Amino acid sequence: MDRIILLFCSFISCVILVNLLFQFFNDRYLRAYNSKLLYILLPIVSIIVVTPINMFMSPILNMLVNVIWIGFVSYFFYYEEKDRRFIQIFESEALFMVIGVAEALGVFLIDVIMEIIQITPQSTEIQKSIETAFSKIVLLFLYYVVFSRLWKKSILRTKTQYILYLIMFVYSVVNVLIIAVISNRENPLVLMVIVGCTIFANMYLLYFIKFSDERNYYKMQLEMMEQQEKIQYDNYEIQSVKYKEAMSILHDVDKHMKTIEGLYQEDFKREALNYTNQIRKMLQPLVPFMYTDNPVLNCLLSDKKRVADRSGISFKIETNEVDINFMKPIDITTLFGNLIDNALEATKKCNEEKYIGLYVKEYNEMISIRIENSVEDPVVVKNGKIYSSSAKRNGVGLLNIQRCIEDYLGSIIYKYSNQLLVCDIVLNRVDE
């Protein structure tokens, strides 16, 4: 029986270890081969190799075999785009060490808890099973909640998800303590089944939550792309209308020229001047104001300025002939389009002063962007971030803004004072 319990504990430990390590490999690196069967068999072979070694209960032998095997798998079956093989091996071995520390922490905690509540297992084998169960639960929660965030920072999680993680952890701890309490009255084989079910249930439930996190991330990425496409389509519609207006004027340009020529020949100079001014007014909306030397930004700012004027909003623009040609056109449209659209949406709701200010300045290799707008209702800003309902409504737009800023190694800070919301952005010139 002791041998069975030892084999069981070794098997559980190896399954959890291999599962987490291969999740790390697949999340962090690229596969060196295209064979799906190979990467299905690798974890199975790893379990078969490591489990018998664990049964010798030799920490040095166990660590030596795991270090060699992990380095072998990492080096020959995975790679990074930058081809940093030795750093890759170091990261894999470091994770293995961290996993060992997390397991030791779990064993220490359950021993302390059992001592406090005065629970003494009937045999060392049963105690080993309880320690295995608790340490693996601690490891799983630390991996999915803490460790995985280190190399997958893009994962989107809400407070509700963290509360769910906490509830699951507490529930699992209670389960292990109940197992410890009944351990002296139940058959060891039954306890092994209960322990195994508890660990694997937690592992796959946490994996399901991880899958849900990734689904939310890709869903948000899709929404961001759709929002970018909408901005591009709206700009296309505006330019299309301008093109049709320009074509209608060009179509009749010969008639206009003959009319002006006739007015001058008949000495109707005042009427000719008025007619010329009318044509100038027709052409003026079709020509973007030269705010910068970037035609994309000029068109965007000219269009937004006209929208603001039609809405009775005072829109002040100061660019100081800044050079932003290092930015991709789609990033210019996404960043400035979202910033100004959010400002327009908020300013339209104001009953009194309606004001938007955009200031773009250049400092050596950095670009400073400030956009400020009046708001009707107070905006909650903490640590430079917006925590209001409007931020939730414009969530995708704000994420697109954040993505653009990160692409140019920049930063963004929000401020609010006296019904004025200010957004300060700094961008760095980056090489292609």
DSSP string spanning 280-295? HHHHGGGS---SSS-H
| pLDDT at residue 395 is higher than 60 | no
Q: Pick from 165, 175, 101, 98: which is nearest to 133 by CA?
A: 175
Q: Pick from 94, 197, 93, 202: which is nearest to 140 by CA?
A: 202
Higher pLDDT, 345 or 119: 345
Q: Which two tokens stand for residue 186?
A: 């139940």
Q: Which residue has the tokens 């209001």?
A: 388
Q: Place 373 in a pLDDT band, splitting at 50, 70 and 90.
A: very high
> What does the DSSP 8-state code read for residue 377?
S
- Lowest average pLDDT, out of 19-28, 94-103, 245-254, 337-346, goes to 245-254
Best-predicted range by mean pLDDT (86-100, 125-139, 189-203, 243-257): 86-100
Q: Which two tokens stand for residue 173?
A: 């701890």
Taking only Cα atoms into account, the Rg of the chain, rounded to an integer number of angstroms, comes to 32
- What CA–CA distances, in Å, run from 231 to 286, 335, 337? 19, 10, 7
Q: 3-state SS of 38-58?
A: HHHHHHHHHHHHHHHHHCCCC
**Averaged over 324-351, what is the pLDDT?**
88
Mean pLDDT over each residue of the chain, to the nearest integer: 80
Residue range 96-120, pLDDT digits in tens: 899 888 888 988 888 888 888 887 7
Tell me, what's the pLDDT at 247? 62
- Lowest average pLDDT, out of 9-23, 34-48, 241-255, goes to 241-255
Residues 6 or more apart whose CB falls under 8 angstroms from that of 124 comprise none
The rounded distance, in Å, linking the Cα atoms of 307 and 299 is 12
| pLDDT at residue 142 is higher than 80 | yes
Residues 6 or more apart whose CB falls under 8 angstroms from that of 129 comprise 5, 8, 9, 183, 188, 191, 192, 195
Task: Report domain extents, the chain.
Answer: 2-225, 288-428
The rounded distance, in Å, linking the Cα atoms of 99 and 270 is 88
Q: Is 302 left (phi over 0), alpha (psi -120 to 50) or beta?
A: alpha
The rounded distance, in Å, linking the Cα atoms of 389 and 333 is 25
In percent, the amount of the chain with pLDDT more than 70 equals 80
Q: Which two tokens stand for residue 35?
A: 């064979």
- What CA–CA distances, in Å, run from 249 to 37, 42, 59, 280, 402? 66, 70, 85, 11, 41
What is the third-level CATH fold of 288-428? Heat Shock Protein 90 (3.30.565)
Torsion of CA 31, 32, 37, 42, to 10 degrees: -80
**CB atoms inside a 10 Å sphere around CB 384:** 12
Tell me, what's the pLDDT at 132? 80
**Averaged over 34-41, what is the pLDDT?**
90
| pLDDT at residue 432 is higher than 70 | no
Best-predicted range by mean pLDDT (59-63, 263-267, 424-428): 424-428
The type of residue at 175 is: N
The rounded distance, in Å, linking the Cα atoms of 379 and 392 is 12
Q: Place 313 in a pLDDT band, splitting at 50, 70 and 90.
A: very high
